[in-house]
Amino acid sequence: MDQEVLQDLFDRAVSKGYTKSIEEFSLLINSDQEVLIDNYDYVKQNGYTKPIEDFQVLIGSKKKRKFGIRLGSWFIGAIYS
């Protein structure tokens, strides 16, 4: 999770009248599809170009998963969210 991004989104929510804690905001953005999409649209308007799945990884809603094997410093496989 990128705490700086979450803080920016939280500050935006507070400026729009949100009154709960950042922890509760984090739970909200991870559980309410409408809130997630609103915040994703906001970051896209501010230059974010990656798909929503990457945004979910960024805010801690999803984790990237690795499938493959590690051979020394090499990783052979795929990383997906």
pTM of the model: 0.74
Give the residue extent of every domain in the chain. 3-80
The pLDDT tens digits of the residues spanning 67-81 come to: 566 677 776 766 554
Q: Which two tokens stand for residue 47?
A: 């230059």
Chain mean pLDDT for the chain = 87
DSSP string, 21-32: -HHHHHHHHHH-
Predicted pLDDT of residue 41: 98
Average pLDDT (27-52) is 96
The distance of Cα 74 from the centroid of its chain, to the nearest Å, equals 27
- Report the DSSP beta bridge partners of residue 77: 68
Q: What does residue 50 show for φ and ψ, rounded to 5 degrees?
A: -85, 165
